[in-house]
Every structure is written in structure tokens, then in C-alpha cells.
Structure 1
Amino acid sequence: MKKLPSFILVVLLFVSTLFFVSPNAFAVDNTLQSYVDQYLVGQGLSGGSILGQDGAQLAASSGVNVSDSEAKALITLFKDPKSAFSSIVTVNNTRYIPTRADSEVIYATKGATGVVAVKTPKSIVIGTYNESLRPDTAGSIVGKLGGFLAENDS
């Protein structure tokens, strides 16, 4: 039997690992998406998103897209919460008036609708709500997921 050159064995080994990667290697985004679907929208919010601390959208409900500029503005507001009251919070192309802001949570409203953003050590959890929810209920929903992510280092 003829021996294969070592570089071919290395290539074959590499290619074989591509087909046998653990399904858990790709679970992070799917897990975050399920959190948005189950623990934000599934609890009554009209939309939700999870951003990384760099502003990258990691997961979002259908129809929600937090733009790069919107994400950067939120990050800035968490760093300087007092500036929230002299600005507008924009999420998913909707402009909201800030009603509460500190280094961990931002509430903003537009009529009977609104948005709540909660900062964790590694992410920002955003939930939008409509007139069927009160702001404090929406805040509790977003806060619970934010707390869970913070406790689980996500």
C-alpha cells in the first residue's frame, strides 16, 4: 500500500473536522435568538434585540433592525446618561423621548409606546412595547433577560 504525503493527510484531517464540528459550536447566536423570541416577544413585547457591547446586533425579532448609528448612540447614552434628556433615542427608525436614563437602563416613550434598553457586562438588551403594556412591565421583562444574561456571563 502506498503512503500518502503528509500534507495530504493534514488537508484531509482539516476537511474532516469541518464536517464533524459540534453543533454547540454554533449555539450562541441561536440561543440569543431564542431568548429574544421567548423572553422578550414571547412575554408581550412588540419587538426585541440583543446587541454586543460594540453595537453589533447579535439577535433580533422579526422586523427589528437596530442600525449601527442607533446602537452607537445607545452606547454613548449609557456612558453619559445625563445627555439622554437633551437628545432623542432612536431604535428601529422610531424616535423616542427619554424618560429615565442611568448607566444600566434607558426608558424612552413615544405616546403610549416605548423602548427599554438594559446594559449588561457583555450586551445590551432592547425591548419595544406598544400600548398593551405599561413601561414598568416592559422594563421588568427586559430587565429579567438582562439579569439572566449578566448572571450567565452572556
Structure 2
Amino acid sequence: MSWQDYVDQELIGKGLAHAAFIGEDLVVWASSEGFNLSEAERRAMFDAFENQDHFYESGLDLTGRHFHPAAADDRIIRVVQEGNGAMLVRMKGFIIVGEYGNLAPAQGQYFINKLADQLTAAGF
């Protein structure tokens, strides 16, 4: 299965509004249509895992929209925006990001976590 297949089938196919895989080199490995994260936004995602104090002060921007910090640890970051939210999962060498859209946050988080766990079990 390609990275794009994971985005299309395991995230967008489950109802998430947007999703992407971002490599540590800031290259987009796969992305849902219209989810065009700027290089600065991609860099800020990785920086948020390294400097959580700054993340809690500033939040994150996704495709030009500001999201407020909700929770962060070494593996997962959650952000919220009125009526919406997103979750980032830090993997070996990349980040999975998924935006919930119309899904309940717990449901969106479940699908993102499930995929992250599957990939971890496969050695990623």
C-alpha cells in the first residue's frame, strides 16, 4: 500500500476532512486533495514536538487556518478550532496529520491512532 493509499483509504475513506504524511525533510509524502500545507506549517509541526512550551503559546496553522493547542506529548499533538480539530502523530521519520472536519474528535482520533498503531507494528 502506498502512502497515498493510506491517506485515501484509511483516513479520508473513514471520514476525515484532510490528511497528510509529512517527512522529516518537510517533503509531503502524501496528502488529501486541497490540503496544501506550507513549508513553514510543516516545519512548525515538527518544531511543536521539540518545543511544546512554544506550541502551547502559539498553536499551529494548517493551510492558513489557526488551530489552538489542546494536548501534546512526545508522540501526539491535538489542536482545536471552532467546530473542528486535528491530530498529529510523530512516527519514525514522519508525521501523520489528520483534520477531523465533520467527525467527532474522538472518532477522528481513533482512526488516526489506529493507522499509526498499524504502521508502528509494521516497523514504521
Q: TM-score, normalised by structure 2?
A: 0.92
Partner Cα distance (1:66, 1:93) in 2: 8
Q: 1:119: Cα distance to partner? A: 0.6
Structure with the higher fraction of residues in strand conformation: 2
Moved over 6 A (4+): none
Determine the structure 2 residue equivalent to 1:148: 118
1:122 and 2:93 aligned: yes
Question: Structure 1 residues 54, 150: CA separation in 2 closer, same or farther (over 3 Å shift)?
Answer: farther
Task: List gaps (5 residues or longer) in structure 1.
Answer: 1-29
Asked whether the equivalents of residues 50 and 59 of structure 1 are also in contact (C-alpha less than 8 Å), the reply is yes
Partner Cα distance (1:150, 1:122) in 2: 12
Q: Percent identity?
A: 27
Q: Deviations over 1:85-144 (max 9, x none)?
A: 1012111221100111111111111111111111111210000112x3222221111111
Determine the structure 2 residue equivalent to 1:134: 104
Task: List gaps (5 residues or longer) in structure 2.
Answer: none
Question: Structure 1 residues 149, 122: CA separation in 2 closer, same or farther (over 3 Å shift)?
Answer: farther
Partner secondary structure for residue 121 of structure 1:
coil
Structure with the higher fraction of residues in helix conformation: 1
Partner Cα distance (2:117, 2:40) in 1: 25
Asked whether the equivalents of residues 115 and 128 of structure 1 are also in contact (C-alpha less than 8 Å), the reply is yes
Give the structure, 1 or 2, with the largest relative contact order (CA under 8 Å, sep 6 or more). Answer: 2
Question: Structure 1 residues 122, 149: CA separation in 2 closer, same or farther (over 3 Å shift)?
Answer: farther
Determine the structure 2 residue equivalent to 1:52: 23
Q: TM-score, normalised by structure 1?
A: 0.75
Determine the structure 2 residue equivalent to 1:81: 52
What RMSD, in angstroms, separates the aligned Cα atoms of the two structures? 1.4
Asked whether the equivalents of residues 122 and 153 of structure 1 are also in contact (C-alpha less than 8 Å), the reply is no
